[in-house]
Structure 1
Amino acid sequence: MRRVDLGRLSVWLFGGLGEIGGNQVLLYTAEGGLLLDFGRPFGRWGAYFTEFLSPRTSGLGLRDLLFLRLLPPVPGLYRDGTGDTLLPTELERELLGGLPLDGGKVLALLLSHAHLDHTGSVGYLRQDLPVVTTAATAAIVKAMQDTAQAGVDGEAAYLSPRLPKEDTGLLEGDRKRYLRRPYRLLGRLQAFPHRSPAVQKTLEGHPWEEASSPLALGPFRVEALPVDHSVPGAAAFVVETPEGLVVYTGDLRRHGRWGAKTEAFLRALEGGEVFLLLVEGTRLGEPGRARTEEEVKQALHAEVARWEGAPVVVDFAPRNLERLLSTLEVAWEVGRRLVVTAKDAYLLWGLAEAEPHPWEAVLREVLVLREGKNRTSGWERALWDEAPVQGISPEEVAQDLGAYLLALGFYEVNRLLDLRLLERKAGRVPRRGAYIFSNSYWADQEQILDLKVLLRWLEALDFRLLPEGLAELPQDPQGVKNPFHTSGHAPEADLREVAERLRPRYLLPIHTERPERWREVYEGEVLLP
């Protein structure tokens, strides 16, 4: 936690300082404040929690997170009203304070994009705090919450009100309703915000409204400029403050499918007077150019074509819809059909309302795996009853696995077992398949363990993992050349160009483990608090 004072403006860095992700930045003045993202700090989080040891938020609210300083101790910032609280006893309230800040003066949260290291702590913020973001980001945030049936930690779009249960000091959730957060959308999203993920639990309050641009918030004027990232809807924020123009990049690159957005962002600002640039630096210290998404698509095409008639799985992150689009185009080119899960289709459905081009056409083109279930959630009923989707059963896929591309990930690998058994039942002769890892790989112990599990499954189901270098479980992910993936972040040369074209009076590094590297690559004034 650091503070930088720049005249009438104070910049508080609660997360994202000397770490990748976990961005929690506060612009604060005497007249009010703005939060720039409020994500989960995965590195610090993993120092205290594991798969089977998690924060006790459902019963004890913010006790664990405030004590461990995984959340800033700012009174008035968190859920603590008459109808909803995450501070059930005085033990939690005593962990707040000690900073010259009033969370009640925070006017809004500016949300740059829908990745958990930027959204993962939004669920704790007070329920009336406006969330300013693009319509695409809002749609993705809600779709991910709907399909995950999230608890307190995931309540970024809406929440289940919680109050202390009588005589226990423990929280109890409302079983009858959800309350929407007041999103202010840069773009339009009309029907999707009203869909409840539950069959009998309603969504109430705080209608999502379209915001003006630029948007006046107390002493600030805010404008969002789209940028290229590995998730749709990403934006940088330009904030007029009492001291001058503050630019927050969020996460960005220009080697993706929509790299022109980042170029347009730079052209809109270069030549002006940028007072402070809060710039990500995930890939500082990495030389060379970045692989483009077009090159990834070409590599996928070449590999899938080599497996003619055989089953092929492509594994990519659930919000990497750019990769889904590349995979869909490869399927067209090689004469296959792309099969996605119902969760993927629901996400596409929400996004198609926010950004009809190209997502409406994508939603209509993919095949959606329709599996038998003991219990159907509200979001699933809505998808099958209302969305323009084409369902396909596992039995139909198993008739000819080589006719499809399967968009499945680690947590869906057991679906391949069903398809193999159904293939045998249909009298088909099984062929060895390819499992293409088109995802990021950072080689921490948890991911190495997951890869070991995945390799055992693939061996049992007769699938080959690609690229083959991953099968060796390398400790150094840089040593694995993966032509089937590219980073969502700009390499060092592109980051340096961002700074040189905007020429800020001050540059403040965030979202990087090497903030000091900026002083080696940039001649302007770099603040290293």
Structure 2
Amino acid sequence: MRARIHRGTREIGGTAVELEAEGRRLLLDFGLPLATTSHAPVLLPEVPGLTAPEPSLLGVVLSHGHRDHWGLLGHMASRPPLFMGAGTERILAAASFFIPDVPALKAAAHLQDNRPLSIAPFTITPHLVDHSAFDAYALTVDAGGRRLFYSGDIRSHGRKGALFELLVGQPPSGIDVMLMEGSSLGRLDEEARFPTEAEIEVELAEVIRRTPGMVLVAASAQNIDRVVTIFRAAKRNGRTLVVDLYAAEMLHATAKGRVPQTSWPDVALFMPWHQRLKVKKTDRFDLIERHKAGRLFPRDLATHPERYVTLFRASLLDDLMKAECLNGAHAVWSQWAGYLQEEKTAALVATLKAQGIGFEVIHTSGHASVPDLKRLAAAIAPRVMVPIHTFEADRFPSLFENVVVRRDGEWWEV
């Protein structure tokens, strides 16, 4: 088996790994680079089978549903088979109604935890992992008598941290090459750790307790762990979690009974004008129908804003301001702080502050700390480790054993 990393040896995001065995090839992830702007041309890696069908390209295996791992799929002229978790498929399909450039991807087969999937000559064994994306997997790939382990994006401090402990406690054996993400290198001191989701819950609960009005929490609706955290923090204070139709559909797409849903008495739907208009234009009233039991209207929010914690995004602000429900409100940024440097986000924060709304950051990473990466590397004990999904590949040799730093586009033997 041969491998080459098309993107990721020197950057976070845009991950694309090509494997070859017996003249046939497989891609692990096919992501959009984080630095790509909406108007910039998209350059596809030089992989045969992207611009026209090529029988040797057997398909693309997606580790999870973050754009930097699937975002180039929509730019391919050909349509090779896709393999992903069923939850990932449902969430992306639901998101495609709301976000124009999100494709409703269809899987040729679904990844399932510890169930080998044959894509001859490759055998893929998925390992369900803790990450800020729902239904995320690390992957073991067997082909040509060699074994490759791809960490995907992974952590131990989320609500599924037990999965990390299970992987460390019962790792795949005989790994020849490990592709390990290093997102936290350069972002966190080598001995430091990230806050757990449980600790984030405590912080949010305290903010909610001391806020006299509505609490606005800006977080990704696809970060199901965080939505659960916000819900639990709200419930600690006897408040209702308010979500818009997009977030309601993300929660519904998990198909998990333990994930908050609008059918629960302490979860409610509020539809901003732009979502109401979209539903009307597309005649998708079925979406409202399944969430109508807990629907709120502007007068409800204005009458008792202190009863609510709202999963917030910029597109909600005009509707909330028109509802006159933001007196005594407080806002929490609960996603990557780097977004605060972007022009649109900075303008949003400025508007909130101009309205007299307090603002603070409460967040934790979707990626493993260095100590946890060390634990994972020691458990897998690969013959060779190759850095991926990192800006700090040159630091790997000082932290881990048997490191070989590769270049983007370079073929090498596993």
Normalising by structure 2, report the TM-score.
Answer: 0.90
Paired residues of 2:149 and 2:175 also in contact (CA < 8 A): yes
Paired residues of 1:133 and 1:184 also in contact (CA < 8 A): yes
In structure 2, the residue matched to 1:213 is 115
C-alpha distance 389-236 of structure 1, shift in aligned 2 (>3 A): farther
Partner-residue secondary structure (3-state), 2:125: strand
Q: Is it true that 1:273 corresponds to 2:174 in the alignment?
A: yes
Displacement of 1:351: 1.4
In structure 1, the residue matched to 2:315 is 411
Task: Select the residue among 315, 320, 332 that pairs with 1:436.
Answer: 332
Give aligned-pair identity as a percent: 28
C-alpha distance 444-26 of structure 1, shift in aligned 2 (>3 A): farther
Paired residues of 2:340 and 2:346 also in contact (CA < 8 A): no
C-alpha distance 146-431 of structure 1, shift in aligned 2 (>3 A): closer
Displacement of 1:294: 0.5
Task: Select the residue among 141, 149, 163 that pairs with 1:239.
Answer: 141
Displacement of 1:128: 4.2
Q: Is it true that 1:110 corresponds to 2:61 in the alignment?
A: yes
In structure 1, the residue matched to 2:233 is 330
Displacement of 1:451: 4.0
In structure 2, the residue matched to 1:22 is 14
| Alignment-mate amino acid for residue 199 of structure 2 | E
Normalising by structure 1, report the TM-score.
Answer: 0.71
C-alpha distance 346-280 of structure 1, shift in aligned 2 (>3 A): same
Query: Which aligned pairs between 1:112-127 and structure 2 lie closer than 5 A?
Result: 112-125=63-76
In structure 2, the residue matched to 1:495 is 373
Displacement of 1:385: 2.6
In structure 1, the residue matched to 2:258 is 358
Which of the two has higher C-alpha Rg?
1
Q: Give the whole-Å Cα distance in 2 for the aligned partners of 1:125 and 1:149.
A: 16
In structure 2, the residue matched to 1:480 is none
Paired residues of 2:269 and 2:291 also in contact (CA < 8 A): no
Q: Is it true that 1:341 corresponds to 2:244 in the alignment?
A: yes
Paired residues of 1:34 and 1:108 also in contact (CA < 8 A): yes
| Alignment-mate amino acid for residue 351 of structure 1 | T
Query: Which aligned pairs between 1:107-506 and structure 2 lie closer than 5 A?
Result: 107-125=58-76, 128-150=79-101, 154-155=102-103, 157-158=104-105, 181-186=106-111, 213-269=115-171, 272-285=173-186, 286-287=188-189, 288-307=192-211, 309-352=212-255, 356-359=256-259, 361-365=260-264, 366-372=267-273, 373-376=276-279, 378=282, 380-386=284-290, 389-420=293-324, 423=325, 431-442=327-338, 445=341, 447=342, 449-467=343-361, 484-506=362-384
- CA displacement, residues 485-506 of structure 1 (integer Å, 9 cap, x when unaligned): 1000001111121111111011
Paired residues of 1:129 and 1:182 also in contact (CA < 8 A): no
In structure 2, the residue matched to 1:526 is 404
Partner-residue secondary structure (3-state), 2:258: helix
Q: Give the whole-Å Cα distance in 1 for the aligned partners of 2:107 and 2:369.
A: 36
C-alpha distance 256-284 of structure 1, shift in aligned 2 (>3 A): same
Q: Give the whole-Å Cα distance in 2 for the aligned partners of 1:389 and 1:16.
A: 45
Displacement of 1:460: 3.6
| Alignment-mate amino acid for residue 379 of structure 2 | R
Paired residues of 1:31 and 1:219 also in contact (CA < 8 A): no
Paired residues of 2:131 and 2:367 also in contact (CA < 8 A): yes
| Alignment-mate amino acid for residue 323 of structure 1 | R
Q: Give the whole-Å Cα distance in 2 for the aligned partners of 1:76 and 1:269.
A: 34
- CA displacement, residues 33-52 of structure 1 (integer Å, 9 cap, x when unaligned): 11110000122x2xxx4x5x
In structure 2, the residue matched to 1:511 is 389
Partner-residue secondary structure (3-state), 1:140: helix
Displacement of 1:232: 1.2
Displacement of 1:321: 1.4
C-alpha distance 336-71 of structure 1, shift in aligned 2 (>3 A): same
Displacement of 1:13: 1.3
Q: Give the whole-Å Cα distance in 1 for the aligned partners of 2:286 and 2:201.
A: 32
Unaligned runs of 5+ residues in structure 1 are: 1-8, 56-64, 82-102, 159-180, 188-210, 424-429, 468-483
Unaligned runs of 5+ residues in structure 2 are: 408-414
Q: Give the whole-Å Cα distance in 1 for the aligned partners of 2:367 and 2:271.
A: 35
| Alignment-mate amino acid for residue 435 of structure 1 | A
In structure 1, the residue matched to 2:412 is none
Q: Give the whole-Å Cα distance in 2 for the aligned partners of 1:464 and 1:349.
A: 31
| Alignment-mate amino acid for residue 330 of structure 2 | A
Paired residues of 1:39 and 1:119 also in contact (CA < 8 A): yes
Partner-residue secondary structure (3-state), 1:42: coil
Number of aligned residues: 399
Paired residues of 1:221 and 1:240 also in contact (CA < 8 A): yes
Displacement of 1:329: 1.0
Paired residues of 2:269 and 2:292 also in contact (CA < 8 A): no
Paired residues of 2:219 and 2:333 also in contact (CA < 8 A): yes
| Alignment-mate amino acid for residue 364 of structure 2 | T
| Alignment-mate amino acid for residue 363 of structure 2 | H
In structure 2, the residue matched to 1:96 is none
Displacement of 1:419: 2.1
Paired residues of 1:413 and 1:457 also in contact (CA < 8 A): no
Displacement of 1:444: 7.5
Paired residues of 1:315 and 1:438 also in contact (CA < 8 A): yes
| Alignment-mate amino acid for residue 347 of structure 2 | V
Displacement of 1:317: 1.7
| Alignment-mate amino acid for residue 13 of structure 2 | G
* Structure number with higher relative contact order (C-alpha < 8 Å, ≥ 6 residues apart): 2
| Alignment-mate amino acid for residue 73 of structure 1 | E
- CA displacement, residues 456-484 of structure 1 (integer Å, 9 cap, x when unaligned): 311343211114xxxxxxxxxxxxxxxx2
Q: Give the whole-Å Cα distance in 2 for the aligned partners of 1:108 and 1:389.
A: 42
| Alignment-mate amino acid for residue 24 of structure 1 | A
In structure 2, the residue matched to 1:479 is none
